């Protein structure tokens, strides 16, 4: 019987209250002020505000699918404004929209239930591919505003997205609907000022907002977690400053993104994705091809003004240090983010106009107050990957160091001069494309520029790079694992290993092939499409995504590892029921999947007389994109610390987060789970999240989805074709930074193929690059159901046996078919030593968690 960690006390805990306040502070710091003609912050808190939009009462706290978090309380925009002292003068319109949503939701659920009746649990895919979206908003009339003060109207425009479906280039998603435009035009005539709040997880088309006279402020609220309404009111009233900066480029038009028409369903081909943009993604593309965005990467306004002065740039060994004096020259308190970019010299390899090299954020500065921040980065981080040489190379020339407040605001601070090429790392080409295709190559003639740039370059301080100070690293690739053997005859248990009476190698060596096969497959023997996984995938922590096997608890003392979903907090069942002996009763309580079990026709068991209710209320933190918009690793670490505290409380071993794929295209349905279009920012955010979580004994993060999970439509069977240079410099770099800076306990592979090989079966990716080149020491697991049958697809499913051979240690959620496939492969395409190696990594993590938790 598994230990139950959940509380039997229903009242709001001190931890819940404390964490709500943390979310409120973090969310406010990541909101981005895009436009402001002086209307914000709002002054009169006694007025009856006119508040409209689909995000007022139905505020989107985070994404759908595994990105959802079942928190006890969610403070919406209306509640937050009322708590701040405002009256709401438009409740009749809000009530009308609530009624529309109720009816629309009822019709959607009828359709969903019909699909489930026809397809069973497989019908869940229908909901992923056809997610619920609230209906369009009703018209705003003069009667709707008669009770409101006519000085200022607030319009909260919301969008939602989630796994399994990409966003649509259509009204109601990327674009505004005609009704939304009509309503905004009406507000600009009925009110002196109009403020638009964007409750969105990613980029939307802002053309109408930028061109409509009378829209005086646009605030990117993002999707801020369970205290979002309070955080928004803090920013609108000036109680908190909007200190956020964009972590992705917002284009003027969707067609401005590279190969925009070839993304996902727009290409007409969901089987193959061609990464033709190469290394030119986000600001790297916009800056290098002279395309002016609506809002640049790193952009954000404030309620105050700042000056920045570079005080010193110097080379210290292998590192460059840039010291910048920041002064608050305005009339309000605020924080400034200093961003440092580098323009690399063009050579054999083409380079973007500039790349982000480092950043730092000041503390809160009062008017007139100043602070000096120092940004440090390694010279080797400026190297480019030369596929012909299979090496990272610093090419000779001038490396211009640039400092600014965003990517289109940088100015040359110094030049780093390198007289000869330097190889920083010798590798082997492990990720070659499976076919030839053309990729973008930048022409410096098209680079963006500004009037003083040539003068700044000519007069820049020149610092000599001494090649001998930069050591060349050479990757060493491990041989195939050797089979573990032992002459011990007495059964070795985890107690023996923990006490030092035996080694972990001896325990693994004693395990039979069936025991080993069971260990490397998750505990759900029914597979992903089994009813047993619905809200009860974990025996110890209901609502968690799954467990490792419990089959070795009695014989070997190997406890389960509990894995919980939720990139914006833990996704667990709020309430579950256990009998007096502590056995969880599936079907009672409140599933993390809502009423899915009921819709599937699963019987509800009788409640025993001695049954006990248990509670697992978790905190919904802001989405990853908002966290990245803080540009503050300390705040992100605090968010991870919050999640780690709740993991420790509820007995969760691994958090299936953070997601950190590159935001390659704004229509990716899962961009809200990811940090940024930039790998450095993504990597530093993930490292900070990981440090926060892993402060807690026996708790770890699972960075995902490795790799190239940049679209959701047909995500399970899509073949992503990408050059090795783009993979190493862009799509893998954030993962590499997170691994080297924080050593996450686990990593999750993606569903898709990487250059013709399923990510979960890709030995070169999972063993040669991840473990041998980067030094990853943790556990690798599959995404859920990657080995399930794939009839009708161009590309099939992952092989359970090849998962093991590749170094993908754990297949989730697991099925008997997975175990049987591994058993059949041992001694053929799979060696016993390879199976033992995966099992040993799982047991290493189990032992580590046991020692830490006691």
Q: Provide the annotated active-site residues.
A: 783
Residue 554, H or E segment: helix 553-556
The residues, any chain, with a CB within 8 Å of residue 438's CB and separated by 6 or more, are 276
Q: What's the distance, Cα to Cα, between the start and end of the chain in Å?
A: 18
Query: Tokens 């022409």 map to which residue?
Result: 443
Beta bridge partners of 322: 313, 375
Q: Are 748 and 735 in contact (CB under 8 A)?
A: no
The residues, any chain, with a CB within 8 Å of residue 209's CB and separated by 6 or more, are 35, 184, 196, 215, 218
Q: What is the dihedral of CA 142, 145, 149, 152, to 10 degrees?
A: -90
701 CB-contact burial (10 Å; exposed 0-12 / middle 13-18 / buried 19+) = buried
What is the rounded distance in angstroms from the CA atom of residue 464 to the CA atom of residue 419?
A: 8
DSSP 775: -
Tokens of 423: 């190889």
Q: Are 392 and 423 in contact (CB under 8 A)?
A: yes
* C-alpha Rg value of the chain to the nearest Å: 27
291 CB-contact burial (10 Å; exposed 0-12 / middle 13-18 / buried 19+) = middle
Closest to 77 (Cα-Cα) out of 92, 94, 97, 100? 94
Q: Are 449 and 292 in contact (CB under 8 A)?
A: no
Q: Are 528 and 785 in contact (CB under 8 A)?
A: yes
Crossing angle of helices 679-693 and 633-650, rounded to 10°: 40
What is the rounded distance in angstroms from the CA atom of residue 29 to the CA atom of residue 27?
A: 5
The beta strand positions in 554-611, using DSSP E, are 562-564, 575-578, 584-590
CA 763 to chain centre: 24
Q: How many CA atoms lie within 13 A of 790 on its CB side?
A: 20
Question: If DSSP states are collapsed to H, E and C, what string results for 157-202?
Answer: EECCCECCECCCCCECCCECCHHHHHHHHHHHHHCCEEEEEEECCC
Reading across the β-sheet that carries 422-426, which strands appear in turn?
384-386, 391-394, 422-426, 473-474
Q: What is the dihedral of CA 70, 72, 75, 76, to 10 degrees?
A: 40
Q: What is the dihedral of CA 754, 756, 761, 764, to 10 degrees?
A: -70
DSSP string, 362-428: ---B-TT-EEEEEEEEEGGGG-EEETTTTEEEE-SEEEEEEEESSTTS-EEEEEEEE-S-EEEEE--
The residues, any chain, with a CB within 8 Å of residue 780's CB and separated by 6 or more, are 746, 747, 748, 749, 766, 770, 807, 808, 809, 810, 841
What is the rounded distance in angstroms from the CA atom of residue 329 to the CA atom of residue 311?
A: 18
What is the length of the chain?
Answer: 854
Q: Are 756 and 706 in contact (CB under 8 A)?
A: no
Question: Hey, is 796 helix, strand or coil?
Answer: coil
The beta strand positions in 203-361, using DSSP E, are 215-220, 272-274, 306-316, 319-328, 337-343, 355-361
CA 547 to chain centre: 22
Query: How many other C-beta atoms are found inside a 10 Å radius of the C-beta of residue 692?
Result: 25
Query: Tokens 């079966």 map to which residue?
Result: 761
């Amino acid at each position: 019987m598994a230990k139950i960690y959940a509380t039997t006390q229903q009242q709001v805990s001190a931890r819940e209250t404390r964490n709500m306040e943390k979310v409120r502070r973090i969310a406010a710091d990541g909101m981005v002020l895009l436009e402001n003609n002086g209307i914000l912050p709002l002054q009169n808190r006694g007025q009856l505000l006119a508040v409209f939009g689909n995000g007022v009462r139905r505020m989107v706290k985070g994404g759908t699918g595994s990105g959802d978090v079942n928190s006890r309380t969610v403070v919406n925009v209306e509640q937050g404004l009322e708590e701040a002292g405002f009256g709401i003068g438009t409740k009749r319109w809000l009530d009308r929209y609530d009624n529309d949503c109720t009816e629309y939701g009822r019709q959607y659920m009828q359709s969903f239930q019909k699909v489930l009746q026809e397809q069973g649990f497989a019908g869940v895919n229908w909901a992923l591919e056809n997610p619920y979206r609230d209906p369009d908003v009703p018209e705003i009339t003069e009667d709707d505003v008669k009770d409101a003060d006519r000085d200022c109207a607030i319009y909260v425009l919301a969008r939602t997205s989630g796994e399994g479906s990409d966003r649509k280039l259509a009204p109601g998603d990327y674009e505004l609907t005609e009704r939304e435009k009509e309503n905004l035009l009406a507000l600009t005539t009925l009110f002196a000022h109009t403020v638009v709040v964007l409750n969105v997880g990613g980029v939307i088309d802002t053309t109408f907002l930028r061109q409509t006279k009378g829209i005086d402020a646009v605030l990117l609220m993002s999707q801020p977690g369970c205290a979002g309404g309070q955080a928004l009111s803090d920013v609108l009233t000036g109680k908190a400053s909007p200190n956020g900066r964009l972590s992705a480029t917002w284009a003027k038009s969707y067609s401005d993104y590279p190969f925009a028409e070839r993304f996902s369903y727009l290409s007409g081909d969901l089987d193959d994705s061609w990464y033709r943009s190469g290394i030119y993604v986000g600001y790297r593309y916009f800056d290098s091809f002279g395309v002016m965005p609506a809002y640049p990467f790193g952009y954000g306004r404030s309620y105050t003004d700042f000056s920045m002065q570079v005080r010193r740039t110097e080379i210290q060994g292998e590192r460059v240090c840039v010291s910048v004096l920041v002064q608050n020259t305005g009339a309000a308190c605020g924080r400034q983010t200093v961003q440092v970019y580098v323009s690399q010299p063009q050579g054999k390899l083409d380079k973007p106009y500039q790349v982000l090299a480092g950043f730092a954020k000041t503390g809160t500065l009062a008017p007139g107050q100043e602070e000096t921040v120092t940004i440090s980065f390694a010279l080797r981080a400026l190297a480019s990957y030369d596929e012909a040489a299979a090496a990272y190379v610093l090419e000779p020339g001038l490396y211009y160091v640039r400092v600014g407040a965003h990517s289109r605001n940088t100015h040359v601070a110094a030049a780093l001069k390198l007289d000869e090429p330097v190889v920083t790392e010798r590798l082997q080409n492990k990720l070659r494309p499976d076919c030839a295709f053309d990729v973008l190559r930048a022409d410096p003639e098209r680079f963006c520029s500004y009037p003083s740039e040539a003068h700044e370059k000519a007069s820049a301080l020149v610092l000599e790079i001494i090649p001998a100070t930069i050591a060349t690293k050479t990757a060493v690739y491990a041989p195939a694992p050797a089979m573990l053997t032992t002459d011990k005859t007495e059964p070795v248990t985890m107690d023996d290993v923990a006490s030092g009476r035996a080694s972990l190698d001896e325990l693994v060596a004693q395990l039979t092939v069936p025991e080993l096969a069971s260990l490397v497959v998750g505990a759900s023997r029914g597979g992903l499409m089994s009813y047993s996984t619905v809200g009860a995938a974990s025996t110890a922590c209901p609502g968690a995504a799954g467990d490792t096997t419990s089959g070795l608890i009695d014989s070997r003392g190997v406890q389960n590892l509990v894995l919980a979903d939720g990139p914006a907090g833990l996704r667990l069942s709020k309430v579950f029921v256990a009998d007096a002996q502590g056995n969880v009763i599936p079907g009672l309580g409140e599933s993390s999947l809502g009423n899915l079990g009921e819709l599937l026709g699963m019987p509800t068991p009788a409640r025993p007389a001695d049954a006990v209710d248990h509670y697992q209320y978790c905190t919904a933190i802001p989405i990853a994109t908002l966290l990245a918009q803080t540009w503050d690793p300390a705040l992100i670490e605090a968010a991870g610390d919050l999640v780690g505290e709740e993991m420790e409380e509820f007995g969760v071993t691994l958090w299936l987060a953070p997601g950190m794929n590159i935001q390659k295209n704004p229509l990716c349905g899962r961009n809200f789970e990811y940090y940024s279009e930039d790998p450095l920012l993504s990597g530093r955010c993930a490292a900070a999240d990981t440090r926060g979580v892993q402060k807690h004994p026996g708790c770890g993060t699972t960075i995902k989805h490795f790799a190239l999970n940049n679209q959701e439509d047909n995500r399970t069977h899509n073949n992503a074709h990408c050059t090795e240079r783009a993979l190493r410099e862009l799509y893998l770099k954030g993962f590499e930074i997170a691994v080297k800076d924080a050593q996450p306990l686990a990593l999750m592979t993606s569903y898709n193929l990487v250059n013709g090989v399923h990510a979960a079966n890709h030995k070169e990716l999972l063993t040669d690059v991840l473990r041998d080149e980067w030094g990853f020491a943790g556990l690798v697991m599959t995404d859920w159901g990657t080995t399930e049958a794939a009839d009708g697809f161009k590309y099939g499913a992952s092989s359970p046996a090849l998962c093991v051979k590749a170094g993908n240690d754990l297949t989730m959620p697991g099925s008997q078919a997975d175990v049987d496939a591994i058993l059949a492969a041992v001694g053929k395409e799979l060696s016993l030593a390879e199976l033992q190696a995966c099992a040993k990594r799982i047991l290493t993590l189990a032992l580590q968690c046991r020692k830490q938790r006691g």
